[in-house]
Amino acid sequence: MNSSVKYNDQLNKRSAETLEALEALILSEGFSSLSVSDIASKLKCSKRTLYELAPSKKSLVLRALNNFFSRIREQGNDVARNSAGPDRIVYEYLQVGEHASERLSQAVVTDIDDWEPTRTLWRNHIGLRVDGLYKIIDTGVKTGVFREVSPAFMAEVVFASINRLREPDFNERTGLTISEAFHELYSMLLHSLMSDGAVSELPTIDG
């Protein structure tokens, strides 16, 4: 699985704050209808400040989304290292993704799907998250915490499901927001992994 785009993250305070604000703007409003001038106006900064982050609108979008996805993976990896037991790790690992999904507007999900570079960025991100999930499930099966399931199959089902969640008609057909859909998917996965007795002991995923 290819990793995401690499950037020099040694940013000064102003640039770091601008990148954070840019990320929030894109996640909230999407990016297809925004020009660099629009972004500068909304963030109350100069275009020169934006160009210190990246040389074009396209690269600004990719950098902001890469920043968002990379943080999710870092938080998920921290969970995998620090949580006790595969059952708790799965719960907290998936919580990272669900909480992050609350920031994804339908506008940005549509824009990501409509542009090949962001589709690739999303696909690489999800692939890396699934690799991490596979390892957690595999450990749980080998240690007897989880039922005898195929870790590869379970991880691929989640990957395929997440891809479906980002398609524009999914919201129309189900009436669920992307955050609500992630919640349902993750709850289904957790219940399929645990024995009947263990499921009742698992914390409910916060919406």
Note the pLDDT of residue 1: 37
Report the run of H or E that residue 80 belongs to, with start and end: helix 57-82
**Helices 106-114 & 116-142 angle (0-180, nearest 10):** 110
Give yes or no for residue 5 having a pLDDT over 70: no
Confidence tier at 7 by pLDDT (50, 70, 90): low
% of the chain exceeding 90 in pLDDT: 52
* Most confident range, picked from 38-47, 121-130, 176-185, 186-195: 38-47
> Looking at 54-68, 78-92, 190-204, which range is the least confident one?
190-204
Measured in residues, the chain has a length of: 207
For residues 102 and 120, give the distance between their C-alpha atoms in angstroms, rounded to a whole number.
21
Residue 80 in this model has a pLDDT that exceeds 70: yes
Burial class (CB in 10 A: 0-12, 13-18, 19+), 68: buried
* pLDDT (0 to 100) of residue 196: 53
Burial 30-63 (b: 16+ CB within 10 A, else e): bbeebeeeebbeebebeeebbebbbeebeebbbb
**Does residue 201 carry a pLDDT above 60?**
no
* pLDDT at residue 4, rounded to an integer: 43
> What is the C-alpha to C-alpha distance for residues 125 and 119, in angstroms, rounded to an integer?
10
Q: Is 171 within 8 Å of 113 (Cβ atoms)? A: no
Look at residue 197 in the predicted model and tell me its pLDDT.
Answer: 47
Residue 195, pLDDT score: 62
Taking all residues of the chain, what is their mean pLDDT, rounded to a whole number? Answer: 86
Ordered structural domains, the chain, with CATH: 62-199 (1.10.357.10)
Residue with more model confidence, 102 or 25: 25
Confidence of residue 9 (pLDDT cuts 50, 70, 90): low
